[in-house]
Amino acid sequence: MTGFLFNAGAIVLLLGGLIFVHELGHFLVAKAMRVKVLRFSLGFGPRLLGFRRGETEYRISALPLGGYVKMAGDDPTEAPAPEDRGRGFLEQAPWKRLAIAVAGPGMNLVFPGAIFVALALALNGNPTEGPVIGTVAPGAPAAAAGLRPGDRILSVAAPGAPARPIRYFSDLRKVVSPHPGEPLVFRVERDGREIEPLTIVPKETEDRNPVETTRRGVIGVAPTYATATVAPVAPGAAGPLEPFDLVVAAGGKPIRHAGDLTAVLEAARCAPLDLEVVRERPLQLPGATLGTFAAATLRGVPTCAGGEPTFRLADPEVSTFVAAVAPGSPAAKAGLVRGDAIASLDGKPVQTFLDVQALARDLEAGVAVSVGLASGRTVQLVPENETFVDELSKEKIERLSLGFSTGRRAAVDPAALATGKVPFVRGPIEILEAAWDELVFMVRLNVLGVARILTGKIPSSTIGGPLMIMSMATEAAAEGWGPFLRLMALISVNLALMNLLPIPVLDGGHITQALLESVTRRPLSVRAREIANVVGLILLFGLMLFAFKNDIMRMVS
């Protein structure tokens, strides 16, 4: 019963809140224009409860699929009452009707901005990642320039711009992202003193989502240390060490992360070390691969052979070690096994699995590709297509499969991997700028999404109705206030854009009509308005039926 009430409350708050905000926009501007408002209703149909104050009735109605503001003189087939003369909606100048119509969608855009400001204020004072580097990806621009784990970034200067101080790791992302391929100058503090500035050229990468593909710059760093998960560079090279052993102590010193392990190895200068590890054993189950874990003490583990390390980090963020091979997959047929480290794909060197994923985009099913391994062996792998069901559209989609995967990141306490937290503090101007940026991003994403649906680039099966919104509301509410409010912001923006479409009976239809009358200098005929309203109702009803059909198909599948 408690769960039902919680879900019902989430749905009422989301739908009721957005409907109220939208209709409040119309109501306030209508009142400001001295247009008589007869009724403010949340929902349609019969009245459930309400009250009257002054000339306006405020009510909640039985069908909670929208709302409306009933104004005097808004029906072209009815003459306004004598006492309402001059205060009817259709009697107003086109610019006044335009302002009243725009106010609803406008409030649906102002509301997300207020949400983003509130969320930004809630973050003030909370701990966040500082500007200290924890992980540097092998082969990434940061590694090539000499940036190391533990370095603190003081400032970054883009070409032709002043250096920007870096207070938080998120500042680093914002500065680097817009400058792929451009030299950036980094001021860096190492071991308590500033070193010579480093020039780093960010690598261009793609961010893909169902709506768009964007390009941004990355330098290959993270605000947390890699785990001390390791693997031999070749079978037996590190004696008793096995792939994906998690080192928890080395030479009698506790190891929290890869930074601690690197320091111990540097101090050992290739001497053998006693290691304490947590060892994972894959456990094959029908339809899944899990793992069991046990502690082990390894004596005299060789750390170097011929001046080269005998084992490397196998954390999935900084390695290409294969953790699992699917039975019968292309990788299994090629002879890949757990513990193999991929050195090249199709003749191109790779340093991390991000490199592997980037190169895999250009591969074709049925066309063999050479996979070079760190052991010196080369195998031929023939990619295959696999079918999976998209979670949103429930459509079957084919994608390329290689058949191997990285290891799961070891279950280490996140606090042990953190480089250090600092209080997140922003002033009023910064908060407003951040809220504005989020609002612009969300509006742009919604506009692109609607455009791609209309042009057929995104399947129409992704269109959702009230049932989908209710499901999303309950899921977001279960995650907390932050996700729930962000969902409200997203749907509010979507509601604003949909209402701006030039469809009669929607706000966009009233806006179009007011603009036409401003140009022609004469009102539309009653017959034209009636036809437009009928067409609009048919379109709106058809869209609602289509959205309901999609919702039901999702539930069935």
Tens digit of pLDDT for each residue in 277-291? 999 776 666 655 566
290-331 pLDDT, tens per residue? 667 889 999 999 999 988 899 999 888 888 999 888 888 999
Q: What is the reported pLDDT for 528? A: 77
Question: What is the β-pairing status of strands 273-285 and 288-301?
Answer: antiparallel
% of the chain residues with pLDDT over 70? 95
Phi, psi of 494 (to 5 degrees): -60, -40
Tens of pLDDT, residues 358-380: 888 888 888 999 999 988 899 99
- Name the nearest CA neighbour of 336 among 374, 293, 297, 379: 379
Buried b (16+ CB within 10 A) or exposed e, 165-200: ebbbbebbeebbbebeeeebebbbeeeeeeeeebeb
Q: Is 384 among the catalytic positions? A: no
> Which pLDDT tens digit goes with each residue over 57-102?
999 998 887 888 999 888 777 777 788 788 888 888 889 989 999 9
Quick one: how far is CA 429 from the chain centroid?
25
User: 417 with 225: CB under 8 angstroms?
Assistant: yes
Q: Where are the beta strands (DSSP E) in 140-212?
A: 152-157, 164-165, 184-190, 193-194, 198-200, 203-208
Show the beta-strand stretches assigned E in 258-415.
273-285, 288-301, 304-305, 308-309, 311-313, 324-325, 342-345, 348-349, 369-373, 378-381, 384-389, 396-401, 404-405
Residue holding tokens 């190169």? 359
Does residue 45 sit in helix, strand or coil? strand
Whether the predicted pLDDT of 473 surpasses 90: no
Q: Is the pLDDT of residue 467 over 80?
A: no
Q: What is the pLDDT of residue 492?
A: 92
Q: Are 151 and 133 in contact (CB under 8 A)?
A: yes
Angle at 441 between CA 457 and CA 432, to 5 degrees: 170
Q: What residues are paired with 387 via a beta bridge?
A: 398
- 82-86, 171-175, 418-422, 536-540: least confident range: 536-540
Mean pLDDT of 218-239: 90
| Residue 444 clears pLDDT 70, i.e. is over it | yes
Q: In the predicted model, what is the mean pLDDT of residues 469-482? A: 83
CA distances from 411 to 71, 229, 296, 408 (A): 61, 11, 17, 8
SS3 call for 249: strand
**How crowded is the C-beta side of 236, counted as CA atoms within 13 Å?**
0
Percent of the chain residues past pLDDT 90, beyond the cut: 41
Tens of pLDDT, residue by residue over 99-110, are 999 999 999 999
Q: What is the mean pLDDT of residues 495-517?
A: 84
Give the mean pLDDT of the chain.
Answer: 86
Catalytic residue among 23, 242, 280, 438: 23
Q: What is the pLDDT of residue 394?
A: 57
pLDDT tens column, 170-221:
999 999 999 999 999 999 999 889 999 999 999 988 877 777 778 899 999 9
Structure tokens at 265: 């190895």
- pLDDT of amino acid 1: 61
Mean pLDDT, residues 527-533 taken together: 75
Residue range 134-168, pLDDT digits in tens: 999 888 899 999 999 989 999 999 998 899 999 99
What does the block give as tokens for 234? 């070749």
Contacts of 256 (CB under 8 A, 6+ apart): 225, 228, 412, 416, 417
Q: Is 535 exposed, middle or buried, given 0-12, 13-18 or 19+ CB atoms closer than 10 A?
A: middle
The DSSP H or E segment spanning 86 is: none
